[in-house]
Amino acid sequence: MTKAKTIIEKIWDKNVVHQEEGKPGLLYIDLHLVHEVTSPQAFEGLRLKGRKVRQPNRTFATMDHNVPTIHQNIVKDEISKLQMDTLKKNCEEFGVPIAGVGHPHQGIVHVIGPELGLTQPGKTIVCGDSHTSTHGAFGALAFGIGTSEVEHVLATQTVWQSKPKTLNVKINGKLGVGVTAKDLILAIIGQQGVDFGTGYVIEYTGEAVRNLSMEGRMTICNMSIEAGARAGLVSPDETTIEYLRNRPYAPKGEEFEQATKDWLNLATDEGATYDRTVEINAEEIEPQVTWGTNPSMCVPINANIPNPDQADNENDKNEIQHALDYMGLTASVPISSVTIEHVFIGSCTNSRLQDLEQAASVIKGRKVHPDVTAIVVPGSQTVKLEAEKSGLDQLFKDAGFEWREPGCSMCLAMNGDAVPPGERCASTSNRNFEGRQGADSRTHLVSPEMAAAAAIEGRFVDVRTFV
């Protein structure tokens, strides 16, 4: 009998080209996604050495970080424009397919890969972006790389990798009504810390994960990096297969049936062992709101903001105090008393059609609070079009939300969409770091439903009792 293996080991064994004892393996890359920010220096490196892109057809580019969300094709910032034009020129020169501004497939790189069917189970996927972990939702081994590695993959279609250690995050039980994948991943990071996954690839298992939609699985895999893990994945099942059927780049007809068999065989074998296992009880999880300057600094909606005087040690005390000072918050008051000026619904964590539908379901004819500016940024042109077909855009606009063009937008505020200094934003994105949404901006990470409810009330409210 062959040894029971995890999906992580199966993908590794399938894709390793060369391995010497005690050294990293040379791992073959099945899909290389490229965007405008982390690629210009890599293409320049190729040009200087006279090298080519080894597999342009396994490479796919889009523009997302710099793209304006009002009038996409009018890029006022000259440096942003140069970066976008540079990607277009590089793709033309090296023969790489690109869905740039104006293309019907343009969007956030981690939204378009899955919706086009480029992302598939068993693939090794890299991108010069840490949230590449998103694609793990399909049972792909997907991780972020730096620009030197982008150049390396362009030239060789491989990366040097040490065989990853495996971490099973087993989520038992069912999530409560009104508790989402976003709350789940925030609660896990809150419990386990921002570096518990460092050096590991996480596999999310258990009843709560099986019950998640592909969109929900993408949300938890997306934030694996916020737990320190370069990659997080979910073994493929029928939910995965049904999502991929008829996607533009997925195989068709008989080939799809053959692929389905191969994909389902990749799932972790019964009895396979992991280097480490962490168990989480889904039943206990409540809607979460971050109060601090990293994603582990979160509390359930009905809890108070922590008090540094109750910290376990001096270092934690200083860290809590520093975060409270930056965030302009008072210790020990209810998080639900905190008022906000901005709401951002978007980003590679939460900008898919289902996220927008769930946010919209909270609105029910109500209006955005007069003190709040709220924007919805769909993750891709495809999401935007589908939402507009079903009238979601009108629903948001009638409530007082702005309906924008697709891009990374206010998640990292590179394109000019920023939270002003000292102002506070309820955001469906993934990072609440100092200055992330603009210099001296204050970010609170929440689910799409919690963000929509906060937009209406002007403060954080428990979406479960918001009727």
Stretch that binds other proteins, among 167-175, 195-203, 300-308, 452-460 (CB under 8 A): 195-203
DSSP reduced 3-state for 172? strand
75 vs 112: CA distance, rounded Å: 22
Our CB check for other proteins shows the closer of 324 and 453 to be 324
DSSP reduced 3-state for 456? helix
We find the least distance from the C-beta atom of residue 345 to other proteins, in angstroms, to be 20
Our CB check for other proteins shows the closer of 223 and 285 to be 223
339 vs 335: CA distance, rounded Å: 9
Asked if residue 408 belongs to a known ligand binding site, the reply is: yes
Task: Show the site string, 261-300: x = touches other proteins by CB under 8 A, - = not.
Answer: -x-------------------------------x------
Tell me if 97 contacts other proteins by CB under 8 A: no
DSSP reduced 3-state for 217? helix
Residues 413 to 452: which contact other proteins by CB under 8 A? Answer: 413-414, 421, 431, 433-436, 439-440
160 vs 19: CA distance, rounded Å: 10
Residues 221 to 240: which contact other proteins by CB under 8 A? Answer: 225, 228, 230
Tell me if 199 contacts other proteins by CB under 8 A: yes
335 vs 11: CA distance, rounded Å: 43
Task: Show the site string, 45-84: x = touches other proteins by CB under 8 A, - = not.
Answer: ----x-x--x---x------xx----------x-xx-xx-
191 vs 323: CA distance, rounded Å: 18
Asked if residue 127 belongs to a known ligand binding site, the reply is: no
Our CB check for other proteins shows the closer of 242 and 255 to be 255
Asked if residue 91 belongs to a known ligand binding site, the reply is: no
Q: Which tokens belong to 411?
A: 């998640």
Task: Show the site string, 162-191: x = touches other proteins by CB under 8 A, - = not.
Answer: x-----------------------------
Other C-beta atoms within 10 Å of 193: how many? Answer: 15
We find the least distance from the C-beta atom of residue 435 to other proteins, in angstroms, to be 5
Our CB check for other proteins shows the closer of 259 and 456 to be 259
Q: Which tokens belong to 108?
A: 């956030």
Q: What DSSP element (H or E) covers 99?
A: strand 98-99
Our CB check for other proteins shows the closer of 130 and 222 to be 130
410 vs 436: CA distance, rounded Å: 9
Among 237, 275, 319, 457, binds other proteins (CB under 8 A): 319
Instruction: Confirm if 210 and 181 have CB atoms less than 8 A apart.
Output: no
Our CB check for other proteins shows the closer of 247 and 464 to be 247
Give the binding-site size for other proteins (rule: CB under 8 A). 72
CA torsion 67-413-355-280 (nearest 10°) is 140
Instruction: Confirm if 370 and 435 have CB atoms less than 8 A apart.
Output: no
Our CB check for other proteins shows the closer of 154 and 345 to be 154
Tell me if 313 contacts other proteins by CB under 8 A: no
Pairing verdict, β 424-427 and 442-445: parallel
